Structure 1
Amino acid sequence: MKLKLLAAAAALVATPALSATSLDIGYKAYTSDTKDDNRGAYDQPFLKLSHFNKADWGTLFAYVKLENPGEVKDAQHGADGKLTVKSLAIVDKQIGKSSYNWWMQNFLASNRTVMEDNFYLGFTTNRTYGQLFINAGLGVNYSAASFTPTNASFDGLTGGAAVINARYPLQFFGLKHSLSVNYEGQFGRDDEHQDVLGYDSYGHQIITTLKTSLGDGVYTKLHLTQFDSWGATPNDGIEYGLAVGFRF
């Protein structure tokens, strides 16, 4: 079902009105408290290839991200670091002429130890307040997960999901900037889903990003992410990082 819906959504972008592709080269790190509380958290480089399309029917955003490419960084306590592949696809299909959308989102993270896939289906709405743009949504969550050390796995409906994405343009020091805050939360997770990944019933990530345009398709990004029962930080934590990006 997931593959069919995403394939159908992708087919809608045959004639986009706006299209942009970018490559980020960056490095992310965790606070010492986060590392103490989460064995899977360790500092590492990343590469991220993103694509955005906006057309009359709505929008598509997708990326593929390689964390610790080449496995150049060791994990905690001298353990081998692993390449983690992450992919995201978000489709907002506008409903008629309204400010509401059908919302489909799929996120996959996988390495040799753990795999997690979350598929959301629901509704979003787009709002503007002056220069502030907000996209917010609510839907159901279908997840698949596995954890190699315990041979545990899960596949099924697991509560709901909510997102709030806000973006605001800024200009200072003679440069153009964009400040964004992205909240993603899951609630009412299935007990088996929680057991496989060590999660609580509720979890979220809040990503704050400052993007600065340097001209000619070059930009920088500073990000700060707070996790709660999410990804590599089931026991909460803070990630921060820097990237240089190229738009083409």
Structure 2
Amino acid sequence: MKKQLATALAALVMAPAMSATSVDLGYKAYTSDTKSDNGGAYDQPFVKLTHFNKADWGTLLAYVKLENPGEVKDAQHGKDGKLTVKSLLIVDKQIGDTSYNFWGQNFLVSNRTVMEDNLYLGVTTNRKYGALFINAGVGLNYSAAHFDPTGASFDGISGYAAVINARYPFSAMGLKHSLSVNYEGQIDRDEDHMSTLGYDSYGHQIITTLKTSMTESFYTKLHMTHFDSWGAAPNDGIEYGVAVGFTF
């Protein structure tokens, strides 16, 4: 029985219906108002390694992103720029034969100045409306954070999280495109979490991305992100950028 169970688990993990790994090389920038309102926001290059896995049990998405690799770009006012490491892991485990999933998500950002880790545990649902795919969910938020200049730290449950991920593939000018909008919000944050990072009770990021496939494996991306009490823009702001990528 144990052998049969081990074989079944191995097949579950090792036999995905779809799997893809990609590398993005890009550059991101902020509007002048965003830079004026947020001292930690500055233009910089990035490299991102992403893996996506879809199987009978559900989906897994993971990435590691290096912003300002080699610290080649200075921050505002001539200060040294910092390498920032970001990692994301999202697991949606399908609940039986339903369109609902057990949802786990962890996002970590760290550099020499600040560290923040957010763990979400909750439920998501998948819906399709023609070519439009939507994944949405709610859950609890457990956060850990540290801000080096003040020595302030936080570690504990910090309110709730909500996500809405929408993707719409289409064709135009002889090329395949995909337009995606990803909303992530934190609600009713803990007072200590807020004071540690200068956040408000509510914060969000909304990422709009246009991906264009030039070949089966080579693509380009344009993105624009609106932040509200989030990350390097605790005082609201807009980031935009461009990237080229390769899937293998």
TM-score by length of 1: 0.95
Q: Tell me which structure has the larger Cα radius of gyration.
A: 2
- Deviation, 1:14, is 2.5
Q: Report the equivalent of 1:75.
A: 75
Secondary structure of the corresponding residue to residue 193 of structure 1: helix
Q: Does 1:188 align with 2:197?
A: no
Secondary structure of the corresponding residue to residue 16 of structure 1: coil
Cα distance between partner residues in 1 of 2:26 and 2:12: 31
CA contact 2:158–2:189 (8 Å) conserved in 1: yes
Cα distance between partner residues in 2 of 1:177 and 1:197: 37
Structure 1: 5+ residue stretches without partners: 1-8
- Deviation, 1:11, is 10
CA contact 1:211–1:221 (8 Å) conserved in 2: yes
Secondary structure of the corresponding residue to residue 41 of structure 1: coil
Amino acid at match of 1:162: A
Q: Deviations over 1:83-131 (max 9, x none)?
A: 0000000000000000000000000000000000000000000000000
Query: Residues 59-208 of structure 1: matches in 2 within 5 Å?
Result: 59-208=59-208
Secondary structure of the corresponding residue to residue 215 of structure 1: coil
Cα distance between partner residues in 1 of 2:152 and 2:123: 32
- Deviation, 1:29, is 0.1
CA contact 1:13–1:53 (8 Å) conserved in 2: no
Q: 1:10 to 1:66 in 2, by over 3 A?
A: farther
Cα distance between partner residues in 2 of 1:128 and 1:181: 15
Cα distance between partner residues in 1 of 2:195 and 2:163: 24
Amino acid at match of 2:160: G
Q: CA RMSD in A?
A: 1.3
CA contact 1:113–1:147 (8 Å) conserved in 2: yes
Cα distance between partner residues in 2 of 1:28 and 1:10: 40
Which one is further off, 135-144 or 169-178?
Answer: 169-178
Cα distance between partner residues in 1 of 2:14 and 2:141: 28
Cα distance between partner residues in 1 of 2:10 and 2:37: 39
- Deviation, 1:139, is 0.1
- Deviation, 1:12, is 5.5
Amino acid at match of 1:136: A
Q: Report the equivalent of 2:30.
A: 30
- Deviation, 1:16, is 1.2
Structure 2: 5+ residue stretches without partners: 1-8
Secondary structure of the corresponding residue to residue 149 of structure 2: helix
TM-score by length of 2: 0.95
Secondary structure of the corresponding residue to residue 122 of structure 1: strand
Q: Deviations over 1:45-100 (max 9, x none)?
A: 00000000000000000000000000000000000000000000000000000000
- Deviation, 1:216, is 3.4
Cα distance between partner residues in 2 of 1:18 and 1:95: 19
CA contact 2:126–2:135 (8 Å) conserved in 1: yes
Amino acid at match of 1:44: Q
CA contact 2:23–2:50 (8 Å) conserved in 1: yes
Structure 1 runs of 4+ aligned residues shifted over 6 Å read none
